[in-house]
Structure 1
Amino acid sequence: MDFETKCVHGGCTSSADQYKALSYPIYQTASFAHASFGSSTGFDYTRESNPTRERLEHTVASLEEAAGAVAFSSGMAAISTVMELFRPGDHFIIEQDLYGGSIRLFHTICEKNGLTFTYASFSSDDIESMIRPSTKALYVETPTNPMMKVVDIRRLADIAHRHGLLLIIDNTFLSPYFQKPLTLGADIVVHSGTKYLGGHNDTIAGFAAASSLEIVEHLHETAMSIGSVLAPFDSWLILRGIQTLAIRLERAEKNAMQIALWLKEQPCIKNVYYPGLPEHPGYAIMKKQASGFGAMVSFRTDSRETAIHILNHVKLISFAESLGGTESLITYPLTQTHADVPEDMRRKSGIDDTLLRLSVGIESAENLIDDLASALPLSKI
């Protein structure tokens, strides 16, 4: 079954609902009755399992070509549960250019629980030399957030598996439509389902998918135990969003390329970070491991004043956190998504007061460019 068809039909050839509802039902219930002692419909309590959430998990697993997937109440809940696979004393090598919320989780929660972390640039550092006897996993986003660095997943998988490590990939920026890390050798994929999978900025969700059924079962048991599962209605919203995933990403990527090319020509824009540009250092790797370049564009202005002027003067584009929705959003990583990242780590990654991150939506590219043009300082056009 082709990807687009899986998006619409959830990887199934027919509806599993007894009434053949085209929109899969929302089983908005906490509990399920037993017909008699010793019998069960297969569902007992929604924290453990729910038909709507199960349908969604089957869909995401199908899209990622995974052994299975677990749906969580947020992307951070998904990452937190993945970290429960490990024990005190375990060591991780982490991409330093990473969503700030993930770094905050590692610093404030995981370190308290006895896990240790080494941060590195996976696109330039010698990762293999950093592996210790206690190292258990490599963790990376690719493209990275917000500097859009590209990491060779196949190369990392080879390093990880030669040393008996797990490779964990955050695939939020590209979604399984453009990139399938498990098919490239990764062991676990995590998502903020709030972003491209949901696609409408109307709910929060997270996912973890794995190549091993054993890992999936462990994640499910942990999620059930700590109660971090996704509610039925939110599961339905993500199912609905996934139906248009392919066509949304095609349009958003096309817009992103047009905007990246336009930004390159503006005198007050000093750098444009988009892996779809041939001069991007990760362009060749992206061509090998992904089927598209995504719709995230970061760029550096000539001054803090220019960056703030743009944020204060965009009208069609919203100045807001998050990404991956139908609407275009512009973010100031320094004070928003990466505010809790230690200053030295921000400096190493290149996150300063001139950096902006743009999540390109599905509006008219011409309208978006006009909005950006009108937000540039008049003296610098």
Structure 2
Amino acid sequence: MHVSHLSLADFRSYARAEVPLDRGVTAFVGPNGQGKTNLVEAVGYLATLSSHRVSSDAPLVREGADRAVIRAAVQEGERRQLVELELNPGRANRARVNRSSSPVRPREVLGIVRAVTFAPEDLALVKGDPGERRRLLDELVTARAPRLAGVRSDYERVLKQRNTLLKSAALARRHGGRAGGGADLSTLDVWDQHLARAGAELLAHRLALVAALQPLASKAYEQLAPGGGPVLMSYRSSAEAVGERIAGAASAPSVPFTPFVPSRDELFEALAEALGAARRQEIERGVTLVGPHRDDLVLRLGELPAKGYASHGESWSYALALRLGAYELLRGEGPEPVLVLDDVFAELDARRRERLAELVGPGEQVLVTAAVDEDVPGALAGARFTVSDGAVERV
């Protein structure tokens, strides 16, 4: 699939933008701060309902406007669809497909645009906190199975309700049970069941994803930096009972392994057991301490943890390999996703630039941003746009 036309209204720096796009490679070239990344960010938002740069929608709306609109024409074989997202900070976002008069929930458009984005912010996948890696996993499981957006939403809703109850219990405990007459914990068992059920579904998909992604990411790293790997990853659960059910130890750290993925019923039972075991501590602290929201993806490069041991160049290549692995995974399971490379080549030496260009050049649609033409390898021949002062012009 590919995006054949991108329209923006009051998105980031653009009051209006109309950008026709072709298959193959398209490069947006211009000085920093002119709006190149804003264009590819919009494509990524359509695919994930989130930005790779900020955690909320407010910065995506142009200053002085109360909403932003992203619209894209998407071509998949002979099928053409028009998808539109209206971003309303502080209010519910809206979505439409094929100019329907009836809006749909934004998550219902997931899967129309498929995209994998690599950007400088992805260095946090290797060097950052677990939340960055959880986000990677959850975006990918949703890309593989869009219905998981509903499961994620259910999990977050139940987690919020459960945390509210635990916080009330913690306050009551600190005030000797006199805070509002104490907290009613009679519903905690019910919330535990709901959290364990949604959590088990999410966990099962995360574990299956790790098993599928690791060999592809390791292969991509070897292609970018021969002899520097292998890339290894394992899932670390915050719940001891879940961890005991995840078999993942290889006979040697340098040998990739395929983790055992327990059934959803087994994961449900393990999560429910872990929540029960942690209840006293959770009531004392007023927060849910176990579950997918506190898990991590452990990344290793050879025998050492990537975080803290990998050099800047190795970390950059590792993060890029994760995205390339994700790209290969998605293109092997459905319509080929758009590949977005946001300001990537400036950070790579000449050898890795060439290797990356060889890897991505055959893609159905590759969107590249660069500060100068020289940063785009000659092998990535295709359309060129200059971006300056909010104007996007084809060369």
Interval containing the TM-score (normalised by the shorter chain): under 0.3
Higher relative contact order (CA 8 A, sep 6+): 2
**TM-score scaled by length of structure 1:** 0.24
TM-score of the superposition, structure 2-length normalised? 0.23
Larger Cα-atom Rg = 2
Answer 1 or 2: which has greater helix percent.
Answer: 2
